[in-house]
Homo-oligomer: A and B are copies of this chain.
Amino acid sequence: MATLISPGTPIGLFDSGLGGLTVLRELTRAFPRRDFVYLGDTARTPYGSKGAATIVRYARECARFLQTYEIGALVVACNTASSVALAGLQAEFPGLVIGTIEPAVEEALRTTRSGVIAVIGTEGTIASGEYERQIRLRAPEAEIISQSCPLFVPLVEHGHLAGEIVEKVVAHYLRPLDFSRIDTLILGCTHYPLLMEAIRAEVGPAVHLVDSARPIAASLRPALADGEAGPGGSRRFFVTDAVSRFNHLARLFLEGEAVTAVQVEDLGDQR
């Protein structure tokens, strides 16, 4: 049985930038009385095109920053960090540590009928092979098609969520895949749900799109069973750079709610 996290203890999330807000949005819907602390490492975004050793270091610095807020659970709301740094964070951090990959893989395996699953993500996530490994552990016979989409994160971080450029870039990465056979597409990056409409238009209505946000909320539920009782409901936002752009775009992503992030000077100093 999962250890219960007391109602007054906040949940921490981090991402390289804005993408993790898609997870935060879902968690605040699922647990409206919980307190959340969000960190976007915007000074070093994007993580997805960087090497594994660099990402491990950045992820540790983010986790240590969030620990100073006495969080009861850590959500690694970044697939790139989840794919290369999760085991290390779980070993180091005393509480519950949840990444994006296992929850998404489990949902994909519940929904696929053809057994042909595509995964899209950053270069770092795809190069790690972590989605393939996690799928094969549970379904050795599954057919897995992986595709990195390195321009998706820059599009989202610059506020391009729809329109002709987004459509062309989506087509560039997804049109070569055979969606007559693939029935499940894992959006293996927390930024990608923000491009959902263009992705849906490209792959057609029959493909099941798996966004990790909802399965992450489901994984947290056992530990937060008593979470509805507290007063709570606060959200604190920290970024390592570009606070006004973060506030502006975060407001769009969180459906109009005003966001006032605090800038953290240098995560490297937390080491």
Interface set of A (CB-CB < 8 Å, partner B): 42-44, 49-51, 54, 57, 150-151, 154-155, 157-158, 160, 164-165, 168-169, 172, 240-243, 245, 266, 268
Contact = CB atoms under 8 A, between A and B. Distances in A.
A50 B242 contact: yes
A172 B166 CA distance: 12
Contact of A49 (B158, B164, B243): B158
A227 B155 CA distance: 44
B155 A245 contact: no
Contact of A43 (B42, B50, B242): B50
Contacts of A168: 164-165, 168
25 contacts: A42-B50, A43-B50, A49-B157, A49-B158, A49-B242, A49-B245, A50-B241, A50-B242, A51-B241, A54-B240, A54-B241, A57-B266, A150-B154, A150-B158, A151-B151, A151-B155, A151-B158, A151-B165, A154-B154, A164-B168, A165-B168, A165-B169, A165-B172, A168-B168, A268-B268
Nearest to A49: B242
Copies of this chain, tallied across the complex: 2
A197 B165 CA distance: 19
Contacts of A164: 168
A52 to B, nearest CB: 10
A157 B51 CA distance: 15
Nearest to A240: B54
B151 A51 contact: no
Contact of A44 (B44, B160, B169, B243): B44
A204 B160 CA distance: 27
Given A165-B168, A168-B164, A172-B165, A242 B151 contact: no
Contacts of A241: 50-51, 54
A57 B241 CA distance: 12
Contact of A54 (B43, B57, B169): B43
Given A165-B165, A165-B172, 12 more contacts: A43-B44, A43-B50, A44-B44, A49-B245, A51-B243, A57-B266, A150-B154, A151-B154, A154-B154, A165-B169, A266-B268, A268-B268
A42 B268 CA distance: 17
